[in-house]
Amino acid sequence: MSSIAYNSENGISNRLGLLFVFAAGVLWSTVGLGIRLIEEASVWQILLYRSVALSAFLYVVIRLLFMS
């Protein structure tokens, strides 16, 4: 029988991961509502704004994770 060492750092990491996955699901689910509110934007404008926002968010996350 094998046992896996469990310490508090793994517990915090797992909870933080679950929180991020839940938050991503909620945010992706509400994108449709936001797009419905944009009536005059073309498909390309929506794609541009989504790409810019996602790039900025990923930049901040990578900066916080690897530069601190």
Q: Is 42 helix (H, G, I), strand (E, B) or coil?
A: coil
List the one residue out of 22, 23, 16, 68 whose CA is nearest residue 8. Answer: 16
Number of Cβ within 10 Å of residue 50's Cβ equals 13
Q: In this predicted structure, what is the pLDDT of residue 59?
A: 92
The residue-averaged pLDDT of 9-18 equals: 79
Please indicate, yes or no, whether the overall pTM of this predicted structure exceeds 0.75: no
pLDDT tens sequence across 39-60:
788 889 888 888 888 898 889 8
Q: Is the pLDDT of residue 1 over 50?
A: no
DSSP 47: H
